[in-house]
């Protein structure tokens, strides 16, 4: 995760990964924290866990900005950012989140 407002990585952001079933229910897969480079230390999905389907990443950005001393309203405009995406059977998926207290952007990275 990177900070949209300053262009620097965001360390220590809590991220939850879920897989969505056909009926719309969510199944927790894992929880992670970003490292000093704003990334996780290892791929979130690999081997048997890497499967086609729909997933959701939950980024706890409000906690990050509060820890950095950002002046946030209560409640924060962006506190928890859900990002739903789907994957095909093959390929590499890098899903970055660029975020400020007021906006975010994402894309399929390389």
pLDDT exceeds cutoff 60 at 2: no
pLDDT digits (tens, 9 = 90+) for 24-81: 899 999 999 999 999 999 999 888 788 899 999 999 999 999 999 999 999 999 999 9
Choose among 68, 69, 83, 8: nearest CA to 39.
8
- Distance CA(66)–CA(13), nearest Å, equals 11
Instruction: Give the C-alpha separation, 106 to 85, whole Å.
Output: 11
More confident residue, 1 or 15: 15
Q: Which domains, from first to last, does the chain contain?
A: 2-106 (2.60.40.180)
Rounded distance between C-alpha atoms, residue 81 and residue 15, angstroms: 10
């Amino acid at each position: 995760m990177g900070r949209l407002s300053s262009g620097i990585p965001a360390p220590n952001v809590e991220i939850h990964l879920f897989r969505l079933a056909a009926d719309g229910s969510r199944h927790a897969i894992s929880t992670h924290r970003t490292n000093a480079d704003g990334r996780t230390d290892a791929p979130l999905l690999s081997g048997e866990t890497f499967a086609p389907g729909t997933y959701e990443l939950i980024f706890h950005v409000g906690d990050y900005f509060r820890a950095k001393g950002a002046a946030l309203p209560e409640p924060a405009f962006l506190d928890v950012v859900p990002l739903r995406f789907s994957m095909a059977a093959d390929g590499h998926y890098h899903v970055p989140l660029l975020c400020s207290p007021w906006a975010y952007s994402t894309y399929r990275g390389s």
